[in-house]
A and B are shown apart, each in its own frame.
Chain A
C-alpha cells in the first residue's frame, strides 16, 4: 500500500522560498511523483513531476525557473522547492504518485495529505 507523508505547514514572506518533502512508503521507490497545488476554492493545478528512479523531471511552463523537484532515493523522499513566493502562491501543495495498475496511467493516486503554504508579510 503506497503512502505519501508530507512535511508540515509553512508560513513564508513574499520573495522567500519554500521546500516541502514527501516521504514514500509501501513500495519500491521508482514511481513517478507529481506535485500539484490547490489554492483556496480553486481547482487543482499540476506543477511538475520527477521520475524517482532516474531523477528526470518535467515542469509546467508556468513555474519554470522558480520551481525545482529533487529526490533522495536513500530516504525514499521527494522534495519540491518554489522560490520568489508571492501571495498567489498561497495554496495547499500535494505530492501524488502516478497511478500504477499493470502499467502506468496518466493520473494521480495516491495523494499525500497536503501541505498548506501561507505567504504573508
Chain B
C-alpha cells in the first residue's frame, strides 16, 4: 500500500488560511469517508484533529476543517497561529481493512 500524497511543506502568515491536500486512490481515500488528519509537534505523539473527513474531536479548534472530493482530501487551517506550526499527516481506511498514512506536510508560520 503506497503512502497517500501530501505536499512536503506549506507556509502562511499569521491570520491567513492554508490548505493541505492528501491524494489517494479509489481503494482508500476515494472508497470511504474515513479520512483523518493528525498534528504532530516535535517529540510528541500525533494528535487527532479531524476524523470522518470533516468532523472535529471535542477540544479541537474550529479553525481546523476538512473536506474531500473524489480521491483527494483536504485540511484547511484558518486564522493561522504560531502554535499551528507542526507536521500534519492524513490517514485513510482502505478496502483491504488496513490503514494508510500520507507522506506528511510541514506547516510553517512565517
Interface residues of A (CB under 8 A from B): 34, 42-46, 58, 60-61, 94, 99, 101, 105-114
Contact = CB atoms under 8 A, between A and B. Distances in A.
A101 B45 contact: no
B101 A107 contact: no
Q: How large is the interface on B (under 10, 10 to 19, 20 to 34, 35 or more residues)?
A: 20 to 34
Interface in B41-85: 45-48, 51-52, 55, 57-58
A107 B45 contact: no
Contact of A46 (B34, B45, B101): B101
Contacts, number: 64
Contacts of B47: 109, 111
A22 B77 CA distance: 33
Contacts of B52: 105, 107
Contacts of A43: 3, 89, 101-104
B49 to A, nearest CB: 10
Contacts of B58: 101
Given A43-B3, A99-B51, A101-B57, A106 B99 contact: yes
Given A106-B32, A108-B36, A114 B45 contact: yes
A3 B46 CA distance: 14
Contacts of A112: 45
B23 interface: no
B45 A106 contact: no
A108 B48 CA distance: 7
A46 B36 contact: no
A46 B98 contact: yes
Contact of B36 (A106, A111, A114): A106
Contacts of B36: 99, 105-108
B34 A107 contact: yes
A105 B34 contact: yes
Contact of A99 (B57, B99, B101, B102): B57
B48 A99 contact: yes
B48 A109 contact: yes
19 contacts: A42-B104, A43-B101, A43-B104, A44-B38, A60-B1, A99-B48, A101-B58, A105-B34, A105-B51, A105-B55, A106-B36, A107-B34, A107-B51, A108-B36, A108-B46, A108-B48, A111-B45, A112-B45, A114-B45
